[in-house]
Amino acid sequence: MRKAMTDAELKLWKEHRAYRLMDLSFRRPVPIAGYVVGFACPTHRLIVEIDGSQHALAPNASYDDGWTVLRFWNDDTLRDIDNVCSQIIRITGKDLP
């Protein structure tokens, strides 16, 4: 498990740590189903991964035990954090402000 976050991960963490994003609770990094995931919102069984070119990106998917996975590129997170946050909120079913 990495201790240091990438710039993109840090930007997202600043947006949603301490319930800042629509009162959603996120943890990081989190071991789930044999993997260590970047960010997890346990109450909504949501995993958020921020990936660079070093990862082979699979499409948004679900783990066998019901976790929904959202993946975003580093560049998208750094350039358009509002859109990334909106997509996260939408998938939880919360109303956008």
Q: How big is the chain, counted in residues? A: 97
Per-residue pLDDT tens over the stretch 35-78: 888 899 999 999 999 985 555 545 555 555 788 889 999 999 99
Q: How confident is the model at residue 33 (pLDDT cuts 50, 70, 90)?
A: confident
Q: Which residue has the tokens 């909504």?
A: 44
Quote the radius of gyration of the chain (alpha carbons, Å). Answer: 12
**60: exposed, middle or buried (Cβ count in 10 Å: 0-12, 13-18, 19+):** middle
Instruction: Answer positive or negative: Cα dihedral of 41, 47, 50, 54.
Output: positive
Token readout for 31 is 């071991």
Question: What is the structure's pLDDT at 65?
Answer: 73
Domains in the chain, please, with CATH? 7-92 (3.40.960.10)
Closest CA to 73 of 30, 33, 38, 34: 38
Give how far the C-alpha of residue 38 lies from the chain's centroid of Cα atoms, to the nearest Å. 7
